[in-house]
């Protein structure tokens, strides 16, 4: 597909299937979620391909790795600035697009060069209540 040409990565059918799965995906899938979804179309799909592709997309700034779930990495194809609201029970994740102004005075940063921030809200989702 031409729409992925701008990524400047070699476009294989497997990669296109992964990209299609990720496009507009708001579920913040794990590698396993991606693997299972793409395996339906490519039964020989291996985990290595999922991880390789995610690595390539991360390097191109086209996918964000989330550390929200301590048991496994999750991935977000939306690289715009936003935050997350996580259900402490089922680990479902909702995007929060508010722009919060968080100023840290120099004397608190202990000589760090600040790059950015990320806010994790937590709560219990509708289904888990």
Provide the 3-class DSSP secondary structure of residue 35. Answer: helix
- String of contacts with DNA for each residue 49-88, x by CB under 7 A: x-xxx-xx--------------xxx---------------
In sequence order, the β-bridge partners of residue 95 are: 84
125 binds, among a copy of itself, DNA, none (CB under 5 to 8 A by kind): a copy of itself
Provide the 3-class DSSP secondary structure of residue 106. Answer: helix
**Among the listed residues 32, 41, 55, 120, the single contact to a copy of itself using CB under 8 A:** 120
Rounded distance between C-alpha atoms, residue 5 and residue 103, angstroms: 38
Q: Are 78 and 28 in contact (CB under 8 A)?
A: no
Provide the 3-class DSSP secondary structure of residue 87. Answer: strand
Q: Are 84 and 98 in contact (CB under 8 A)?
A: no
Q: How many residues does the structure list for the chain?
A: 129
Pick 14 or 28: Cβ nearer a copy of itself: 28
**Among the listed residues 45, 57, 63, 86, the single contact to DNA using CB under 7 A:** 45
Rounded distance between C-alpha atoms, residue 110 and residue 57, angstroms: 33
Span of 7-15, 35-43, 45-53, 85-93 interacting with a copy of itself by CB under 8 A: 85-93
Least Cβ distance, residue 7 to a copy of itself (angstroms): 23
Q: List residues near a copy of itself by CB under 8 A.
A: 65, 67-70, 73, 85, 87-88, 94, 96-98, 100, 102, 104, 108-126, 129
Q: List residues near DNA by CB under 7 A.
A: 9-15, 30-32, 42, 44-49, 51-53, 55-56, 71-73
């Amino acid at each position: 597909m031409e729409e992925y040409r701008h990524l400047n990565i070699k476009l294989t059918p497997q990669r296109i299937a992964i990209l299609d799965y990720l496009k507009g995906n708001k579920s913040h899938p794990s590698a396993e979620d991606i693997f299972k979804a793409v395996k339906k179309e490519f039964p020989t799909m291996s985990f290595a391909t999922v991880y390789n592709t995610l690595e390539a997309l991360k390097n191109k700034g086209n996918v964000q790795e989330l550390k929200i779930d301590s048991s496994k990495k999750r991935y977000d194809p939306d690289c715009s600035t936003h935050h997350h609201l996580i259900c402490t029970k089922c680990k479902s994740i909702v995007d929060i697009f508010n722009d919060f102004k968080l100023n840290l005075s120099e004397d608190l940063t202990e000589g760090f060069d600040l790059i950015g921030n990320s806010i994790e809200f937590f709560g219990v989702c509708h289904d888990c209540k």
